């Protein structure tokens, strides 16, 4: 495990967005492979994903599992989103998530965007995290109550956090939980690149639109060629990427000291099987 000040986060965390009826078997399989940290949010479904996690927990030892969930997005018609961070909404979201998960406490509670501190004091939340905050927000929040972790997109395709967020986290001692290490599925395989489903959630991102997508397909071809040379898949190569050539840890994922965990999204166990084994591919840098 990678260690924070008090909270230990496993190096690999299972992202559960998109899991359906077979999700319980995927979660149980992940646990059998040593994954004990499960990520969800009230907006996934909405609500149904937390219920699914709660059902899976009934078949697993709660004391050996850590749960991270998020709040802040108000359910509206996709793709429009509203954000609410008022104290009243914070509390109502936490109480509702506890009920759906059917647990007494949440290990790590992220806010998508003073009440969180009270929830920690009441024992309903153990640690506080923020999802995709700005540097100013991080400083303001950390001054009110210590922030344990940030959830940020970080991959070959998204390196913005290297400029300000990572140095700030080093300064304040905050962990980072990167999500979408496969570039929101872009590096998962040519099928994703060439055949975006109609009305796919990915279509809201400029990188998957028009000329941007055409140019990014060229990038994928370069990664695909490099993967062939290493006798692996583009996805495995993307996961093996070492951002700054720092210390390589003993998991088939890139982790550097200030990065606590990597969230892996799993659809019917495909990426889970892809990501857990150590392929022996050497870490690499750009």
Torsion from C-alpha of 224, 132, 41, 148, nearest 10 degrees: 110
Can you tell me whether residue 1 is helix, strand or coil? Answer: coil
DSSP, res 201:
G
**Rounded to whole angstroms, what are the CA distances from 100 to 25, 43, 119?**
19, 12, 17
DSSP letter string, 15-57: E-TT--TTHHHHHHHHHHTT--EEE--TTTTTTHHHHHHHHHH
Catalytic choice (44, 127, 220, 258):
44
**Cα 80 to Cα 131: distance, rounded to the nearest angstrom:** 18
Backbone angles phi, psi at 48, to 5 degrees: -65, -30
DSSP letter string, 69-119: EEE-EEP-STT--EE---HHHHHHHHHHHHHHHT-S-EEEEEE---HHHHH
Torsion from C-alpha of 254, 255, 260, 261, nearest 10 degrees: 20
**Cα 185 to Cα 207: distance, rounded to the nearest angstrom:** 12
**Residues ≥6 apart with Cβ < 8 Å to 140:** none
Can you tell me whether residue 149 is helix, strand or coil? Answer: strand
Q: Are 10 and 36 in contact (CB under 8 A)?
A: yes
- Is there a catalytic annotation at residue 44? yes
Q: Are 45 and 75 in contact (CB under 8 A)?
A: no
Active-site positions read 44
């Amino acid at each position: 495990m990678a260690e924070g000040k008090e909270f230990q986060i496993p190096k690999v965390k299972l992202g559960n967005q998109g899991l359906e009826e077979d999700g319980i078997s995927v979660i149980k399989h992940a646990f059998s492979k040593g994954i004990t940290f499960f990520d969800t949010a009230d907006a996934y479904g909405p609500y149904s994903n937390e219920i699914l996690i709660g059902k899976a927990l009934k078949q697993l030892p709660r004391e050996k599992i850590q749960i991270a969930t998020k709040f802040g997005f108000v359910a509206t018609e996709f793709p429009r989103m509203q954000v609410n961070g008022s104290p009243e909404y914070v509390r109502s979201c936490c109480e509702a998530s506890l009920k759906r998960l059917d647990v007494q406490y949440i290990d790590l509670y992220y806010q998508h965007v003073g009440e969180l501190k009270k929830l920690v004091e009441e024992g309903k939340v153990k640690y506080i995290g923020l999802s995709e905050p700005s540097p100013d927000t991080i400083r303001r929040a950390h001054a009110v109550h210590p922030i344990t972790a940030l959830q940020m997109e970080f991959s070959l395709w998204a390196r913005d956090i290297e400029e300000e967020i990572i140095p700030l986290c080093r300064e304040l001692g905050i962990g980072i939980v990167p999500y979408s290490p496969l570039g929101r599925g872009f590096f998962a395989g040519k099928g994703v690149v060439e055949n975006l489903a109609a009305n796919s959630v990915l279509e809201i991102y400029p990188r998957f639109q028009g000329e941007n997508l055409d140019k990014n397909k060229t990038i994928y071809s370069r990664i695909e060629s490099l993967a062939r040379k290493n006798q692996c898949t583009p996805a495995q190569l993307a996961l093996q990427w070492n951002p700054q050539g720092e210390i390589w840890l003993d998991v088939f994922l890139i982790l550097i000291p200030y990065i606590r965990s990597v969230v892996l999204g799993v659809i019917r166990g495909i990426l889970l099987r892809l990501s857990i084994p150590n392929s022996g591919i050497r870490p690499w840098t750009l």
